[in-house]
Structure 1
Amino acid sequence: MAKPRSPKGRAQRTHERLKDEYEAVCELEHRNPFELLVATILSAQCTDARVNATVPGVFAKYPDAEALASADLDDLEELVHPTGFFRSKARNLQGMARRLLADHGGEVPTSLKDLVKLPGVGRKTANVIRSVAFDLPGLPVDTHVGRLVRRLGITAEEDPVKVELALNPMIPQYERGDFSLRLILHGRRVCSSRKPACDDCVLNDFCPSAFAA
């Protein structure tokens, strides 16, 4: 099979190959959009494994926006302490819950515009919620996604928003979330930051960065 020559061609070939390698799953444990929102806010600069170990205690005590909005802040800080930056994360969680109650009847909104107005929620988190919780178009760009698409020559952009906007036209809109999830899994398991396992990579026949180290 000929190598794809354009960024769009490389994006589409990547999408096709990774479909055969990974089930598109979010590794943050959650049972509903609210829990995913809490977990995603806590995942900033923290591993999914640590978040997953932390959130059961949070959800047991604060299962919904109403409970979280009235949480004792010191108690909330103690609960989320293992995820790092616990003071700012606790404030963001409580602020998010209060905004949900004030503006959305305690429910997580679906629109990007409304999501990014919530404390602690940027475009990446909003896209996670849209794509994972609601099956809506959304392409979260984390460090793995950004690293892989640059290595693959799909885009040279560094800014996550610019990366997202460059990728969106290349991937069918309702498959963007799955594309992101599979890139994240591939980045964690094969195309790591320091020592990518190019010998084990299903993209090595067209990746311009393959075996470069």
Structure 2
Amino acid sequence: MLRFLLVAFMFLISSGFISLVQSVCIRGCDLALASYYIQPGNDIYSVSKYINTSVNNILKYNLNTIHNVYSIQKYVRINVPFRCDCINGDFFGHVFKYDHRIGDTYEKIAEVSYANLTTRDWIQMFNIYDGSQIPDDAIINVTVNCSCGDPSVSKDYGLFLTYPLRAGENLDSVSSAANLSSGLIRSYNPDVNFSQGSGLVYIPWRG
């Protein structure tokens, strides 16, 4: 078990999913947000199932984005709420439970169902099944990283958004979308290449 945790922790650092300032935690926080990119085939009901929450709970954090629960605009981001836990005292994250379906792969689950909030390798790390031999009725652990803030940077923000970078984005576009200064966002993500088109950044958010 100790060896598993060490390998998982080192993978997390090397993959850029957390930074060293977040590598040790004592407790999590009741609320974090994830930026979920809506693709064709996704709707609010399927998203609520993936995130293990209710449709009404998602609606509370998207008053200006979701106007019709039956027809969500594609290729936009919505905010989905979840609890940010301190996992094994090593990192901030939350483990969602996903009902495996015929035809699913870890890659498809990560990229489509969870909109790149995690990766194939990260899902594999927290499951006992080989990616090519997943039982049809398996319950898959899907671990998504989050942040409860860093008081050494600022004590003004207690709510954070886990934001998967997409191709074409950069620090300026992310800061503009969040309506925050690029310097503030950079201070929480000092080692991130915002133009890499993948990976996670953590954005302070207003409740």
Do these two structures clear the TM 0.5 threshold for a shared fold by scoring above it?
Answer: no
TM-score (norm: length of structure 1):
0.24
Going by fraction, where is helix more abundant, 1 or 2? 1
Going by fraction, where is strand more abundant, 1 or 2? 2
